[in-house]
Amino acid sequence: MMSVMVGTMASLMSATVVNVAIPGMSRDFALNQERAQWVSSGFMVAMTVSMLTTPWLLARFGYRRTYDGTMLLLLAGGLVGGISPSFPLVLASRVAEGLAAGVVQPIPAIIMMRAFPPSEQGRASGMFGMGVVLAPALGPSIGGVLVDLFGWRSIFFMVIPFCLASIWLAHRYIPTSAPGGAAAGRHAPPLDWRGLVLGSVGTLALLNGLLQIRGAGAASALGLLLASALAFAALAVWLRRAKARGQEALLDPAVFRHRLYTIGTVVAFIYGIALYGSTYLLPVFMQVALELPASHVGTILLPSGIVLAITIGIAGRLTRRIPTHLMVSGGLALLAASFALMPTVGLSAPLTLLVAWAILGRVGLGFVLPSLNVGAMRPLDKGEIPQGASLINFLRMLGGAAGVSLCAIVLEWRLAVHAVTLSGPTSAARLAAFEESFLMLAGVCCVATVCAWQLKGPPLGDLPASKA
């Protein structure tokens, strides 16, 4: 578990640290808001789609070879992104990094659910989370300094040491077997290309449809969103049909027979919108609206990242005594409050106010992260854990990819309403556009809070040992 943590840190760092470089990248390549946000959403799309392949890859190649492949792809993406002379090549490198990050993300949850009894899973998740959140906490700080000193290209090289360390650790500690201890490759079914294509088409159509709302027009956007709905509906039909025929499909819809798991996936999707949307919006707000240098962005976010790591460690132990619905809904309520309070931060407000609201939100995240996945997947049988982990992560990242696009759309819309742009000196109208975007995120968190209240069940420490 500690070995795969290093690779997960690298993937999370590559997901979040690039946001501090978006303003500089936009200037160098003369990008507008719509094209610039694809640096984040392109990564999220690739990561979301590739999560669907994790169960098959683990069964076909085993833990070690799958993990090694993702780290090599992440390493290559970082190198190419740092030396790319054009924006399309930068975007291609981000897609490669996203593909690698998506495959590796569900692996720690699979290991924790299979290796630890239910009474220890929350604590293990807390210990794992303490290490993992340090990467996105320290990443923007280090990345901001690198951007100020060496330019935006330098942030792509940050993942290289983590990738090299993770490959070394993989060869020492990660088994070659598939989940369950079976030999990799012998009994692995063929990859369900039909399901993968339908899932990919649905994801791409959804995100492009969201972009077209403020781009080519309502008709184009409506067509893409309809195509997305049809693709996901066709995916659901195909998965059920394959299950009925005894065929191996990309995902097993049987996991949705568990009500707790189904509710957990809904919460994960809505929560992903707010979480990843904010990771895009907050750095842009600080640099464009508050006119802070990139190095200040990381410094301001560093205390909240440290608080998040500490909170996760504490929350991991509390999962044994506090029911999941209280942990998750309480954390989401704090996250909603932090977004709702962001409009109090203006040009004349002390930066300590921004730090305080960021810390409040990260405390909320600290209670959600160790509880949501473990609490939602506790009804699953051991054989369903790889499928369940991949699916809940897929839906969370689908929400995240939509959230990045949604924040860009809402921000552009509110800027147009206030008749301002992101270029030039800041103004009260530009600040108002950002404030309204944060209020939208607060509303999303409130919806997730209501859904999370349905995750009712005993604390993880009260579950019988037979559930292991």
Q: What is the DSSP string of 154-195?
A: GGGGGHHHHHHHHHHHHHHHS-SSPTTSPPTTTSPPPP-HHH
192-237 pLDDT tens trace: 888 888 888 988 888 778 777 765 567 788 888 899 999 989 988 8
What's the CA gap between 69 and 88, in Å, rounded?
24
What gap in Å lies between CA 457 and CA 256, rounded to an integer? 17
Residue 304 neighbours by CB under 8 Å, 6+ apart: 137, 355, 358, 359, 361, 362
Q: In terms of pLDDT, which residue wins out, 341 or 188? A: 341
Percentage of the chain lying above the pLDDT 70 cut: 90
**Residue 52 has what DSSP assignment?**
G
Tell me the pLDDT tens digit for each residue of 232-267. 899 888 888 887 777 777 777 788 888 888 898 888
Q: pLDDT category, 387, cuts 50, 70, 90? A: confident
> What local confidence, expressed as pLDDT, does residue 74 receive?
92
Higher confidence at residue 206 or residue 333? 333
Give the pLDDT score at 465. Answer: 41
The CA distance from 290 to 273, in Å, is 24
What average pLDDT score do residues 355-383 get?
Answer: 83
Two structure tokens written together for 277: 């949307």
Predicted confidence band at 133 (pLDDT cuts at 50, 70, 90)?
low
pLDDT-derived band at 438 (thresholds 50, 70, 90) equals very high
* pTM to 2 decimal places: 0.76
Does residue 410 surpass a pLDDT of 60? Answer: yes
Q: What is the pLDDT of residues 104-117, one digit of tens each?
A: 888 887 877 777 77
Among candidate residues 158, 146, 57, the one with its CA nearest the CA of residue 99: 57
Model pLDDT for residues 260-317, shown as the tens digit of each residue? 888 988 888 888 888 878 877 888 888 888 888 766 776 787 788 788 878 887 887 7
Q: What is the mean pLDDT of the chain?
A: 81
CA 400/CA 441 separation, integer angstroms: 12
> Is residue 68 pLDDT above 60, yes or no?
yes
Residue 32 has pLDDT above 70, yes or no: no
Give the model confidence (pLDDT) of 144-155 as tens digits: 777 777 878 888
Helices (H), 285-323: 294-318
Backbone phi, psi, residue 75, to 5°: -60, -45
**Nearest CA to 125 among 324, 271, 288, 278?**
324
Higher per-residue confidence, 352 vs 462: 352
Q: What share of the chain is helix, strand, coil (3-state, %, to 5)?
A: 80, 0, 20
CA distances from 426 to 29, 125, 240, 294 (A): 22, 42, 53, 16
Q: Read off the pLDDT of residues 336-367 as tens digits, 9 standing for 90 and up.
A: 999 999 988 887 888 888 889 989 988 888 88
Indicate if the pLDDT at residue 382 is higher than 60. yes
pLDDT of residue 184: 65
